[in-house]
Chain A
């Protein structure tokens, strides 16, 4: 079973709007990571948030973590066409392997 589950599966917004994606997980974690994948190619690491952190920023990205609800959200502000991609969250299981959700496909319309 998947550790991370992203929601929504797909999101289409106008350029300039904000995009919010959510991730839920099942077990306790040390950290949670968000990655981006363009056009079915390799993934790029975006941001890591540790279990003792509640919020983290990186440029136009804002990640929150609620360990009591076992959930995280990724907010992309002032979206651009280049943000069109699939976004994945990942957490580590008890064998220290990254477990991935199915991702949120984000489409930014010009």
Chain B
């Protein structure tokens, strides 16, 4: 069974640009979670999608947004990138309570 996949692996952008990160959950999982992990820190909850709808969001500005598609894959969009957005972005899918993580997308904002 394939695990959670994320693309791209690495993404380098400049300040002010927009970034799109993608995630495909494990087959059969309808929930997708997005987390931001700054270097050396713990995970900060960003967004939770389930059955195509946003169920909850963390304490992040509106320029962090996303969506979930009918096949349960998900996109995270970050607009007007700032230097502090440089981090590892992790996606997880879940049958609850355990979460299965993808390898992450490392976003670097220059």
Binding site for B on A (CB under 8 A): 2, 4, 30-31, 33, 35, 40-45, 48, 88, 92, 95-103
Partner among A45, A95, A98, A99 whose Cβ is within 8 Å of the Cβ of B100: A45
A98 with B102: CB separation less than 8 A: no
- Nearest chain B CB to A11 CB, angstrom units: 15
Query: How many residues of B are counted as interface, with CB atoms below 8 angstroms from the partner's CB atoms?
Result: 25
The total of Cβ contacts below 8 Å across the A-B interface reads 54
A88 with B42: CB separation less than 8 A: yes
* B103 in contact (CB, < 8 A): yes
A99 with B45: CB separation less than 8 A: yes
A48 with B98: CB separation less than 8 A: yes
- CB-CB under 8 A from A102, the residues of chain B are 41-42
10 A-B contacts (beta carbon < 8 Å): A4-B42, A31-B97, A33-B98, A40-B88, A40-B106, A48-B98, A97-B45, A98-B45, A100-B45, A103-B42
